Structure 1
Amino acid sequence: VDVVNLMTFDYYDGATHDMAADTRTAAEGLHGQLAALYPHKSSAKLWSMIGVIEMPGIDDYGPEETFTVDNAVAVEQWAAAKKINTLSFWALQRDNGGCPGTGGSDSCSGIAQDTWAFSHTFEKFTSGARK
């Protein structure tokens, strides 16, 4: 296995989520699973086998699971520090603020944001500027 991608959204558990904290928790859990599978690999190598996929804005469950631009900043900084393999998001076309208050839309994030705010936030990670 080269990379395992976590899709850190659509929990559907009825709870209100801090999506950045839940991303870290999910990735730490995966890191632990990979450590059990590959005990000979270093912690750094295991982090480099993890990818994180976020859904910008209000996910399919609803406002309790809203990934904000502030969450994106926190996740990008954490991902760069851990040197994970991949940081991306589901549905590029959602990266705009065209429908505030709408959950699970295919065409917008459902939050007030600048167009491409999530892309520009993750750009530091994907461009290698932080690596």
Structure 2
Amino acid sequence: LAVVEAFEQAGKPIFGVCRGLQLINVAFGGSLYQDIETQHPGAQQHRNAVTYDQHFHEVEIVPGTRLAQMYPQQSRAVVNSIHHQGIKNLAPGFEIEAWSHPDGVPEAIRRHAHSGRGYIAATQWHPEFFKPGAS
């Protein structure tokens, strides 16, 4: 939390991955499900201890977001999923850029560009786990 606060105060860019998304959301006033499968009605499995980084699900990319601009021909993507906590209430000043499909748990967030503050974005999935050429 101290590092997030220090970077934010200095106007430095922040990109969170997995727990980083959760930490950013809490640091800026949001809340989490402590266990998605037991607290979010209709939740799919977001973590599988056996398959770990080979456990996947779909996300829906929100139209009009920066993430959608980066992938203009893609409304859905398959991402890895190794978390059991997730965003319950989004932090003020942030927008959701992708939701898990079909259960609607936020999977990518970004601070509103018009906030006039530094760049902050995060994904619940681990982009670094993808092999080159994988989608």
Q: Do Structure 1 and Structure 2 share a fold, with TM-score over 0.5?
A: no
Which structure carries more helix by proportion?
1
Which structure carries more strand by proportion?
2
TM-score, structure 1 as length reference: 0.25
TM-score, structure 2 as length reference: 0.25
